[in-house]
Structure 1
């Protein structure tokens, strides 16, 4: 593997870790809830990100490069919009059961906001990481942020 391949792997891993960290911070900030990260949340969302999320990212980056409209904010906006699909998928996978699909306004409900923060932070970190990989001069801020995310994730899991 090349050095850039390892960096993209680092982006994927730390981007995913941003999700549970932001989910826990959102639930604590708005609702004062603690111990919210569960093994089923980690399991279902990790599987969803490693399959559907990475596919969304790859397709988006390829299309933006093919059409030669590869801009950071456009990429981030597209990631955020596509990851809204994952907010709905998580709801179904974690137990919507027979109640059907959630309403379109679900991301704006008290139950949906933490999930939106979960997937939105993953989309933002992924976009920032991919953008940083293309600009090797500016890797230090991303590396610092990703290491902080890694430490917070480890602390959150350790306290689980």
Structure 2
């Protein structure tokens, strides 16, 4: 595995932790506690992100290149819009199998996940942009360390 491949893996992990940080922080501000537990939250969100999310993000980059519309902002907006798909999958990963689950996106809990996936999309877009444009990776690495520290801090509070 090349060093650049490891950076993409690091971008995915950091992005996912950013989403968890935003989700848990919002729950702590909104409810004052994490009612479900971090393990359940990871169980609901990780499969959707590390399968559907990453595949769709990669497809989006490919399509944007084909359309000659690839730039940082088009990529970021597309990634945010793609975040709606994993959010709509969350009820299925929780064991609820109904076509009515797509209304979950518009519920208060769905909004929490939408915030989380939007923050994932922004972080993922930034990391991918840096890697693809061969820019300095240090700012992203500093952001990664900050996200990890904040996530540890917030997860211990809840």
2:125 and 2:45 map into 1 onto residues whose CA distance is 18
The answer to whether structure 1 residue 4 and structure 2 residue 4 are counterparts is yes
1:126 and 1:120 map into 2 onto residues whose CA distance is 10
What is the match of residue 115 of structure 1? 113
Shift of 1:19: 1.2
What is the match of residue 134 of structure 1? 132
* Residues 155 and 37 (structure 1), Cα distance of their counterparts in 2 relative to 1, 3 Å cut: farther
Deviates more, 1:107-116 or 1:31-40: 31-40
Q: TM-score, normalised by structure 2?
A: 0.86
Unmatched segments (≥5 aa) in structure 2:
none
Deviates more, 1:69-78 or 1:35-44: 35-44
* Residues 155 and 138 (structure 1), Cα distance of their counterparts in 2 relative to 1, 3 Å cut: same
The answer to whether structure 1 residue 13 and structure 2 residue 8 are counterparts is no
CA RMSD between the two structures: 2.2
1:128 and 1:12 map into 2 onto residues whose CA distance is 11
Match of 2:96, SS state, is: helix
Q: TM-score, normalised by structure 1?
A: 0.85
Aligned residues: 158
What is the match of residue 88 of structure 1? 88
